[in-house]
Amino acid sequence: MTDIPAFVNNRRLDVMAANPLAEALYAPLFADPTRPANHARFAFLNPRAHDFWIDWDRIADDTVAVLRTEAGRDPYDKTLADLVGELCTRSDAFRTRWASHNVRLHRTGLKHYQHPVVGALHLNFESMELAADAGVTVTMLSAQAGSPADDNLRLLSSWAATPSTGRRPHRSGAELMNPTYEFRDQVALVTGAASGIGLATATAFAESGAAVVLADFNEQALRAATDKLTAAGHRVTGVTCDVSDEGQTAAMVARAVGEYGRLDMAFNNAGVQAPPSDAADELAENFDRVTAINLRGVWASMKHELHHMRDQGSGAIVNCSSLGGLVGMPSRAAYHAAKHGVIGLTKSAALEYASCGIRINAVCPGVILTGMSADMMETQADAMTEILKDQPTGRIGRADEVAAAVLWLCSPAASFVIAVALPFDGGFTAH
Ligand SMILES: NC(=O)c1ccc[n+]([C@@H]2O[C@H](COP(=O)([O-])OP(=O)(O)OC[C@H]3O[C@@H](n4cnc5c(N)ncnc54)[C@H](O)[C@@H]3O)[C@@H](O)[C@H]2O)c1
What are 324-378's pLDDT values in tens digits?
Answer: 999 999 999 999 999 999 999 999 999 999 999 999 999 999 988 787 876 776 6
195 alpha carbon – ligand 1 mean position (Å): 8
The reply to whether 165 and 269 lie within a common domain is no
Chain length of the chain: 431
Q: 48 or 300: which carries more pLDDT confidence?
A: 300
Q: Is the pLDDT of residue 85 over 80?
A: yes
Query: What are the tens digits of pLDDT across the range 293-336?
Result: 999 999 999 999 999 999 999 999 999 999 999 999 999 999 99
What is the arithmetic mean of pLDDT over 229-256?
97
> Three-state SS across 43-96?
HHHCCHHHHHECCHHHHHHHHHHHHHHHHHHCCCCHHHHHHHHHHHHHCHHHHH
Q: Are 17 and 8 in contact (CB under 8 A)?
A: yes
State the pLDDT at residue 258: 97
State the pLDDT at residue 338: 98
Closest-CA residue, ligand 1 atom 23, reads 192
The reply to whether 146 and 188 lie within a common domain is no
Residue 271 lies in a domain: yes
Q: Are 333 and 282 in contact (CB under 8 A)?
A: yes
Q: Is the pLDDT of residue 200 over 70?
A: yes
343 alpha carbon – ligand 1 mean position (Å): 16
Residue 20 lies in a domain: yes
State which of 91-100, 112-121, 159-168 shows the largest mean pLDDT. Answer: 91-100
The reply to whether 127 and 204 lie within a common domain is no
Q: Which of 372, 373, 378 to mutate to test the pocket of ligand 1 (most atoms within 8 A of CB)?
A: 372
What is the arithmetic mean of pLDDT over 384-400?
75
Q: Which residues contact 220 (CB under 8 A, 6 or more apart)?
A: none
What is the arithmetic mean of pLDDT over 143-167?
65
Question: What is the spatial distance between Cα 412 and Cα 423, in angstroms, rounded to a whole number?
Answer: 20
Residue 392 lies in a domain: yes
Atom number in ligand 1 closest to CA 195? 39
Question: What is the spatial distance between Cα 289 and Cα 267, in angstroms, rounded to a whole number?
Answer: 20
Residue 1 lies in a domain: no
Q: How many CB atoms lie within 10 A of CB 216?
A: 28
Residue 218 lies in a domain: yes
Q: Is the pLDDT of residue 73 over 70?
A: yes
Instruction: Give the alpha-carbon dihedral of 117, 119, 123, 126, to 10 degrees.
Output: 40
Residue 176 lies in a domain: no
The reply to whether 68 and 131 lie within a common domain is yes
Query: Is 181 an active-site residue?
Result: no
Domain boundary among 133, 149, 170: 170
Q: Is the pLDDT of residue 156 over 80?
A: no
Atom number in ligand 1 closest to CA 320? 41
* Residue 138 binned pLDDT confidence (cut-offs 50, 70, 90): confident
* Residue 161 binned pLDDT confidence (cut-offs 50, 70, 90): low
Q: Is the pLDDT of residue 36 over 50?
A: yes
The reply to whether 59 and 11 lie within a common domain is yes
State the pLDDT at residue 48: 87
State the pLDDT at residue 423: 97
What is the arithmetic mean of pLDDT over 223-247?
97
* Residue 246 binned pLDDT confidence (cut-offs 50, 70, 90): very high
The reply to whether 266 and 119 lie within a common domain is no
Q: Are 86 and 67 in contact (CB under 8 A)?
A: no
Pocket lining: 400 vs ligand 1, CB cutoff 6 Å: no
Residue 420 lies in a domain: yes
Q: Is the pLDDT of residue 167 over 60?
A: no
Return the CATH number at 362: 3.40.50.720
271 alpha carbon – ligand 1 mean position (Å): 4
Sign of CA dihedral 188, 192, 198, 199: positive
Q: Which residues contact 97 (CB under 8 A, 6 or more apart)?
A: 60, 61, 64
Closest-CA residue, ligand 1 atom 20, reads 196
The reply to whether 412 and 316 lie within a common domain is yes
DSSP bridge pairs for 128: 138
Q: Is the pLDDT of residue 130 over 80?
A: no
Atom number in ligand 1 closest to CA 248? 32
State the pLDDT at residue 173: 39
What is the arithmetic mean of pLDDT over 174-193?
83
Buried b (16+ CB within 10 A) or exposed e, 152-181: bbebbbebbbbeeeeeebbebbbebbebeb
Closest-CA residue, ligand 1 atom 43, reads 271
State the pLDDT at residue 164: 34
Return the CATH number at 107: 3.30.450.180
Domain boundary among 108, 136, 170: 170
Query: What are the tens digits of pLDDT across the range 254-295?
Result: 999 999 999 999 999 999 999 999 999 999 999 999 999 999
Domain boundary among 142, 170, 198: 170
Residue 207 lies in a domain: yes
State the pLDDT at residue 394: 67
Helix, strand, coil content of the chain in percent (nearest 5): 50, 20, 30
Q: Is the pLDDT of residue 32 over 70?
A: yes
- Domain housing 152: 6-170
Pocket lining: 322 vs ligand 1, CB cutoff 6 Å: yes
Atom number in ligand 1 closest to CA 294? 41
Question: What is the spatial distance between Cα 336 and Cα 330, in angstroms, rounded to a whole number?
Answer: 10
243 alpha carbon – ligand 1 mean position (Å): 12
Distances (CA, A) of 64 to 129, 323, 346: 17, 42, 49
State the total domains in the chain: 2
Question: What is the spatial distance between Cα 81 and Cα 248, in angstroms, rounded to a whole number?
Answer: 41
* Residue 144 binned pLDDT confidence (cut-offs 50, 70, 90): confident
Pocket lining: 22 vs ligand 1, CB cutoff 6 Å: no
119-123, 208-212, 343-347: which range is least confident on average?
Answer: 119-123
pTM score: 0.70
The reply to whether 163 and 200 lie within a common domain is no
The reply to whether 107 and 156 lie within a common domain is yes
Q: Is the pLDDT of residue 135 over 50?
A: yes
Pocket lining: 199 vs ligand 1, CB cutoff 6 Å: no
Pocket lining: 238 vs ligand 1, CB cutoff 6 Å: no
The reply to whether 98 and 153 lie within a common domain is yes
234 alpha carbon – ligand 1 mean position (Å): 23
How far the first Cα of the chain sits from its last, in Å, is 32
DSSP bridge pairs for 131: 136
State the pLDDT at residue 169: 33
Pocket lining: 377 vs ligand 1, CB cutoff 6 Å: no
* Residue 178 binned pLDDT confidence (cut-offs 50, 70, 90): low
* Residue 134 binned pLDDT confidence (cut-offs 50, 70, 90): low
Of the residues 26, 113, 181, 335, which is catalytic? 335
Closest-CA residue, ligand 1 atom 2, reads 368
Question: What is the spatial distance between Cα 220 and Cα 211, in angstroms, rounded to a whole number?
Answer: 21
The reply to whether 141 and 80 lie within a common domain is yes
Q: Is the pLDDT of residue 389 over 90?
A: no
The reply to whether 250 and 147 lie within a common domain is no
Closest-CA residue, ligand 1 atom 29, reads 270
180 alpha carbon – ligand 1 mean position (Å): 25
Pocket lining: 370 vs ligand 1, CB cutoff 6 Å: yes
Q: Are 39 and 13 in contact (CB under 8 A)?
A: yes
Pocket lining: 241 vs ligand 1, CB cutoff 6 Å: yes
- With residue 18 as reference, give the H or E element that holds it: strand 15-18
